[in-house]
Amino acid sequence: MKPDVFRQELAKIGIDLSDEQINQFKIYYELLVEWNQKINLTAITELEEVYLKHFYDSITLATTLDLGKESYSLCDVGAGAGFPSIPIKIVYPNLEISIVDSLNKRIKFLTLLCDELNLENVNLYHDRAETFGQNKAHRESYDFVTARAVARLNVLSELCIPLVKKNGQFLALKAAKSEEEVQESKKAIATLGGKLADEIEISLPFSEDKRYIVVIDKKKETPNKYPRKPGTPNKKPLI
């Protein structure tokens, strides 16, 4: 997907990019490729693949939400090279974005990226999700929390749901649909104060690639014991 096609395909789903936004994505791509030679940010570096599988893919999350009307807060857990939160921020500059990542090298890249893109109201935190979720300054304070990670849903839920404010949402982006994974996570989701609300299937243009967005509503406060100590959610997932 070349940049002009990227713009056309987004227009088809109601997202019209300005010339400035198109330029921001151009700079994003150039910095991503440059920094990827220094630190491992992504295995995908070819221009058309990045625009499709990183930029467009990230923005599909926004199509499930009405982000243009209010200044919502969104926290991206384990964002890596900034996906999905930075592409969404470019499209919806009114959003307040917070990114937490455990690798300081990635935070340094994101700091430079946000400066180069002139993005405001982006907060970057070098921290483990488990300790970040126990921080009173962040716990249960975000309208939306996202994760585009390979961890199973019950693990992601423990890392992310504690950060969602009551009546907010946790949105997990998955590359493959797994009814077994969703079923095994239902008890964990309920324990953490959430409720499975929806599973949305999205097809990427020009490919057979499917994406799945698992939407979890925050119905009540998360018990204080969650998230557990760093490493524990992965070693002993809630079931």
The per-residue pLDDT for range 126-158, each reduced to its tens digit, is 999 999 999 999 999 999 999 987 688 999 999
130 is in an annotated binding site: yes
pLDDT for the residue 68: 67
Domains of the chain, each with CATH number or no CATH: 3-235 (3.40.50.150)
- Reported as a pLDDT band with limits 50, 70 and 90, residue 94 is very high
Residue type, 120: E
Cis peptide before 84 (omega within 30 of 0): yes
81 is in an annotated binding site: no
The per-residue pLDDT for range 168-209, each reduced to its tens digit, is 999 999 887 778 888 899 999 999 999 999 999 988 998 878
pTM of the model: 0.93
175 is in an annotated binding site: no
83 is in an annotated binding site: yes
> Average pLDDT of the chain?
93
